[in-house]
Structure 1
Amino acid sequence: MRTSKTFSIQFWMDTKKSKKSEGLIYARINVDQKRLSISLKRKLAIKQWDSKNQKHLGASQTAKEFNRYLDLSKSKLFRCYQELRDNGEEVTSKAIKNLFLNEESNGYTLHELINYHSIKIENTHAIGSIRNFKVTEGYIARFLKKKRIDDISLSKLNFEFLCDFENFLNAYYPKGHPKAMSHNTVTKHIQRLRKIVTLAYNLEWIKDDPFRRWKSTFDKVDREFLSDSELARLATHHFKIDRLDRVRDLFVFSSYTGIAFVDIRNLTNQNVWIGDDNGNKWITTTRQKTNCKVKIPLLFRAEKILNKYDGHPVTEISETLLPKITNEKANLYLKEIAAEVGIQKNLTFHMARHTFATTVALSNGMPIETVSKILGHTKITTTQIYARVMDHKIKSDMDAVQKRLNEKARKFEEESELKNLREKIVEAEKTKYANLTKEQLIEKLNEVLNEKSDTN
């Protein structure tokens, strides 16, 4: 491969896009009279830049550090030029720039990025979100171990790495699971990795975003909920075992309020207040997941459950409105509850929120905006996942359509019948006056006009 004949490096300030009287510093490399600029990601006050000597003016500590950075950048650029020549590669301005930017990003690794991200979210994300990121980080570590490496430079994160990670997840069998991850679970892990990598891109730790061509899709999943009859059967069933009775009460309470399991555990007497002059009780709480405040008027069944545990020994000890139990045990006991009540569905506690949104709220005419507010969603698109059109609602809406169609058909038939009668009367009148003389017709016309005048 040929080598370049000329090579030079200059520093300059871009003052055209200056903000707050500051300009961005660039390194201009010139190879065989073909030049290209590289942003050094350093800003400087315009009045402090010495354009003639291409350095920071003055002898202050700040100026010395800035000029030291320029010297270091110049050395790195020259080293990139030498490396291309020594490897027998074609030396161009673009090749030097690419090598220089890759060297700049080689200082950070994937594990360093993950650690930085973990610190960043520890005080901004919910406990559940942090736990989910930890699970994804665990799979990233297993993936690197399979590749027989402990870590990887961020500069080596590319589309191929993402494809390999996806294939690894698709073939991985989590411990205690009878089958591999579902497509949606794999997509969620990749989405979390994407958020971590995007942070590196925004921090300018990497030059390019390896996810820029990545397309994530979720398979549509029909989220189950209880119907009116199933919910009523569950709410009125008599359980002989206390633990099942309590978990049933928690589930029914969530079904009539939309409050998530983790938020129900935190409810105390301070969350109950009288919301109007009629003495109706409300629940006010803040969702742990989204930190959104929600206010919910209590329906009859929900208030009945609160009254049941008012002063109950289990709530007196925990100082909560309802009995406390772990989510794992609650979901385990719900399997027993479903079998005893005769519900042929995989009953989980989160299904209660779907039941509230679909069976209790939307199917009874509550606007989706109100449902979204009660559920504590930050986006209405999240609430739309819960929305389902039930069979009885379809029947009701079709009956309304049929009623309107019948009304239109009846009106059309009446108008058609009247039109036919008018036509028959006109035809009969024609026959009646067909044999009258001119004088008789004029006399008849005057009679009609006089009748019309008297009517007016």
Structure 2
Amino acid sequence: MATVKLLLRTEKSDASGEAPLYIRITKDRKPKYISLGIKIHPKHWNEAEKKVKKAHPNSQRLNNLLAVKIAEAEGVALTLETAEKNTPAIKIKEAVLGKTSESFLKYADHYIKALEKNNQISTTEKARAVFSKLRAFLRNRDLLFDQLTVTFLKSYERHLKDEVGNSTNTIHANLRVIRRIINEAISEDIMSFEKNPFLKFKLKLEKTVKAYLTEEELLKIEELPFKPGTRKYDHRNMYVFAAYAGGLRISDVLQLKWKHFDGERVVIDTHKTGSTVSIKLPAKAITILDGYRTSSSRQDDFIFPVLNPLKDYTNPRTLYTALSAATTYTNKDIRAIGEQIGFSGNLSFHSSRHTWATRALKKGMRIEYVSKLMGHTSIKTTQVYAKIVSEELDRAMDVFN
């Protein structure tokens, strides 16, 4: 812990015998001095109490000033050391002098506001959740770029694991957001590349099992006798449709309109990445869509009757709220459907995407085609499905044992 004291440096006395007053900050036996710009004759200085004696004509005013300066220095030292125990004395001195780096939290706020202004609502909300946790950890203290060290990241990582109860992969996702904003600050020369703590701090990630259905399990879901017009009937059909239609994400299935379907294929700009996908639908997917077409269906109508057709979704915030609510409701039904067919584990709508990818690769579709149809920006993202199929083939070979 750093110590902060007043010091009359008599060795620096001038010709009149007056000596300058300094604040001395000591950390790990290394002192740093801050000049207060005040000189006092040793005869007017009470060394034991670290105060100006009453005999000095301005003792009251000077002692008040010194008390404020000491309090400020102690406050800065405490703030820095609470965030990072190994804060050196030089950093505390710079902070007291006002030579501090910019606020990381304020920069992050501007960054998040820019995301929202750019209508990246989902990314905005995720980032806000990440920084809500960070602010709770800091207990409403500020966080400067200089305080973003490996020691700080390790401390925060332990907090998320032990106090918040986050999983390794949730912690990974949180720290990735922080890393992304640090990289943005580096690109704007607000933080130097050499000070990036992620150069020495390795993000941890645990392997997760992607849930997907076998052909038999998918067929069981298709054959469940739900009553037409019910929500569970619609949610089941959306799931099965996606499992045949290139693994479309739920945000795209919910917004699918008749204008996106020409009777043979679906052409849509994906909600998540904005990339355009064109998918020639197999007979099963077309049959599902045809079941929703009526004589009054218009080009601008939603195919699946989940989103409110009378509501204006041009506002990104309104659309985000509606998609989030519909996704939660749909996943609740899909989880129940999974239990109905005896699926081991929690089934979610996103598993329809995994189901399509693994089925496509098993049926011999080239991985580049699978990647393109899924709207992946990198084939590396798709390779995880190839690995799943490869592992299944390895297990199949066990019959010879």
Counterpart CA distance in 2 for 1:187 and 1:136 is 11
The one of 125, 131, 146 equivalent to 1:131 is 125
Quick one: structure 1 residues 131 and 373, their matched pair in 2 at CA, closer, same or farther if it must change by over 3 Å?
same
Matched, 1:273 2:256: no
Correspondences of 1:280-359 after superposition (within 5 Å): 281-311=264-294, 319-324=301-306, 326-359=326-359
Percent same amino acid at aligned positions? 26
Please report the TM-score for the alignment, with normalisation by the length of structure 1.
0.58
User: Given that residues 105 and 154 in structure 1 are in contact (C-alpha distance below 8 angstroms), is that contact kept between their aligned partners in structure 2?
Assistant: no
Whether 2:236 is the aligned partner of 1:229: answer no
The whole-number CA distance in structure 2 between the counterparts of 1:99 and 1:230 is 66
SS state of the match for residue 239, structure 1? Answer: coil
Tell me the number of residue pairs that the alignment of Structure 1 and Structure 2 aligns.
294
Q: Are 2:259 and 2:300, in contact at CA under 8 Å, matched by a contact in 1?
A: no
Offset at residue 120 of structure 1 (A): 3.1
What is the rounded CA distance, in whole Å, between the counterparts of 2:327 and 2:203 in structure 1? 30
Aligned-pair Cα RMSD in Å? 3.3
Q: Distance in 2 between matches of 1:376 and 1:102?
A: 52
In structure 2, how many angstroms separate the alpha carbons of the residues matched to 1:200 and 1:319? Answer: 44
Q: Pick from 172, 194, 197: which aligns with 1:187?
A: 172
- Rounded to whole Å, the distance in 2 between the matches of 1:160 and 1:356 is 43
Instruction: Could you tell me which runs of 5 or more consecutive residues in structure 1 were left unpaired when the two chains were aligned.
Output: 1-82, 88-94, 174-179, 275-280, 400-456
Q: CA contact under 8 A between 1:126 and 1:290: conserved in structure 2?
A: no
Classify the secondary structure of the residue corresponding to 1:296.
strand
Post-superposition shift, 1:364? 0.3
- The one-letter code matched in structure 1 to 2:328 is E
Q: Is the 8 A contact 1:157 1:210 kept in 2?
A: yes
2:64 paired residue number: none
Matching residue within 243, 266, 276 for 1:255: 243
Residues 269-327 of structure 1 show CA distances to partners (whole Å, capped at 9, x for unaligned) of 111125xxxxxx010011111111100000111101100011289x7799201122600
1:390 CA displacement = 6.7
| Runs of 4+ deviating beyond 4 Å | 83-87, 95-105, 315-318, 390-399
Alignment pair present for 1:364 and 2:363:
yes
- The aligned counterpart of 2:11 is none
* Structure 1 Cα separation of the partners of residues 389 and 94 of structure 2: 58
**Distance change (3 Å), C-alpha of 1:273 and 1:318:** closer
Provide the secondary structure at the position in 1 that maps to 2:102: coil
Matched, 1:153 2:138: no
Give the match for residue 183 of structure 2: 198
What's the counterpart of residue 6 of structure 2? none
**Worse overlay, 123-132 or 386-395:** 386-395
Q: Distance in 2 between matches of 1:183 and 1:96?
A: 35
Change (3 A) 1:104 1:316: farther
Q: Does 1:220 align with 2:207?
A: yes
Deviations 1:137-180 (A, max 9, x none): 111111111xxx4212222221111111111111234xxxxxx2
1-structure distance, mates of 2:327, 2:298 = 21
Task: Give, as a single letter, the amino acid of the residue that structure 2 aligns with 1:117.
Answer: Y
1:19-30 residue pairs with structure 2 within 5 A?
none
CA contact (8 A) 1:126 1:288 kept: no
> Equivalent residue of 1:223, what SS?
coil
Contact 2:238 2:304 in 1 (8 A): yes
Contact kept in structure 2, 1:285 and 1:294, CA below 8 Å: yes
Stretch deviating more after TM superposition (232-241 or 345-354): 232-241
Q: Match of 1:278? A: none
Shift of 1:111: 1.9
Superposition deviation, residue 86 in structure 1? 5.1
Q: Deviations over 1:345-394 (max 9, x none)?
A: 311000000000002x1110001110111111111111122332178755
What is the rounded CA distance, in whole Å, between the counterparts of 2:364 and 2:96 in structure 1? 58
Distance 1:252 1:198 in 2: 40
Gap runs ≥5 in structure 2: 1-31, 37-88, 308-325
